[in-house]
Amino acid sequence: MPAELPPSIAFMLDEFRGDKFTLKDVSKSLSDKAFVRDYFDQCLASIRTFKYADDIQSRADKFDIFAGNSLDPLSFGGKSSGLQHVLSSTHHFARTACLYADRVVVPDPFSFTYIEATDEEIFLSLKVLQILKPLLDAGIVVFAPEAYVACGSCTKVTNKAKKQVARQLWHQFANADVNVVRYRDGRKWRISFGSPLMAQQRISLPATREAIAATKPNELLKGRNAMAIVRSYKEGLQRHFNFCAHSVVFDSFIGSRCNATVVTDSPEEAVGYRLLDHRGVGTARPDWSALRTVPLPSLQSLTASQALQVREEAEKALPAFRAKLQLDLVSLKDLSDEEEEKRACEIAAELRLAARDLQGQLMSINLPSLRRKEKLFVALASALEIIAVGSKNSAAIFAASGTFAAAMIAAHQTHRDRREKHEVLVHQPAYVLLTAERIHEESR
Percent of the chain with pLDDT over 70: 69
Distances (CA, A) of 33 to 27, 39, 194, 317, 326: 12, 10, 45, 51, 49
- What's the pTM? 0.69
Q: Which residue has the higher pLDDT, 182 or 403?
A: 182
| Chain centroid, CA 76 distance in Å | 16
CA distance 427 to 317: 4
Instruction: Please give the angle made by the CA atoms of 57, 60 and 66, to the nearest 5 degrees.
Output: 70
pLDDT band per the 50, 70, 90 thresholds, residue 328: low
Question: Residue range 377-390: average pLDDT?
Answer: 36
Q: pLDDT averaged over the chain?
A: 75
Count of other CB atoms within 10 angstroms of residue 420: 11
Domain chopping of the chain, boundaries: 7-147, 169-243, 316-444
Confidence of residue 109 (pLDDT cuts 50, 70, 90): confident
Q: Is the pLDDT of residue 40 over 50?
A: yes
In whole angstroms, give the CA distance from residue 300 to residue 283: 32
The larger pLDDT score, comparing residue 437 to residue 31, is at: 31
**315 vs 361, residue with greater confidence:** 315
Q: Answer yes or no: is pLDDT of 191 > 90.
A: yes
- pLDDT value at residue 295: 45
